[in-house]
């Protein structure tokens, strides 16, 4: 390979890395903004019904608990609570009557939580919000099933990549 060809290959590789970096940083920005946007959409829904006892992170927590009975650790493992303190939010939800809590029979150090009727109402509110979104996602948002499938596949790969970075200290 001539010197000119080697320089051209290096410049092409550098351009490819630069383009990849721009796309990667844009993706990171979108992930962060989308999470914030989701919380804002949920907050608007809470405001619409006049619910000011809980915030959008807590409403999302109630949605993700659903019909399950879980520990705080299991909720954290699900990873839905960016920038939030799950234990604090659970305590607030117990204090305001949205969640039942009881000590685990198997491990007395562990507390299991489930939704009260009040918590189920917020769970249903968020579910209905998502159902309304589904009706307009394609016609208004121009986002279809295939689009979501590709996004989800890509985000799963990115999650696995980041998890491996942490786990294996790459």
pLDDT tens-digit series, residues 12-62 = 667 789 999 999 999 999 999 999 999 999 999 999 999 999 999 999 999
Domains of the chain by residue range: 3-137
Extended beta strands in the chain, E state: 70-71, 99-103, 111-115
Q: Place 72 in a pLDDT band, splitting at 50, 70 and 90.
A: confident
Question: The whole model's pTM is what?
Answer: 0.83
Residue 73: its H or E element: helix 72-78
Q: How far apart are CA 37 and CA 41, in angstroms?
A: 6
Q: Which fold has domain 3-137?
A: Arc Repressor Mutant, subunit A (1.10.10)
């Amino acid at each position: 390979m001539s010197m000119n060809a080697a320089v051209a290959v290096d410049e092409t590789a550098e351009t490819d890395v630069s383009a990849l970096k721009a796309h990667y940083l844009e993706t990171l920005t979108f992930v962060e903004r989308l999470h914030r946007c989701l919380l804002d959409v949920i907050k608007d829904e809470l405001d619409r019904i006049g619910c000011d006892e809980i915030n959008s992170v807590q409403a999302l927590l109630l949605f993700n608990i659903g019909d399950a009975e879980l520990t705080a650790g299991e909720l954290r493992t699900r990873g839905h609570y960016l920038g939030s303190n799950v234990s604090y939010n659970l305590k607030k939800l117990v204090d305001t009557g949205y969640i039942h809590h009881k000590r685990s029979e198997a491990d007395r150090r562990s507390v299991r939580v489930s939704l009260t009727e009040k918590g189920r109402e917020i769970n249903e509110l968020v579910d209905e919000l998502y159902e309304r979104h589904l009706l307009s996602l394609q016609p208004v948002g121009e986002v279809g099933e295939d689009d979501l499938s590709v996004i989800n596949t890509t985000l799963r790969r990115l999650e696995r990549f980041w998890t491996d970075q942490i786990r294996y200290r790459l």
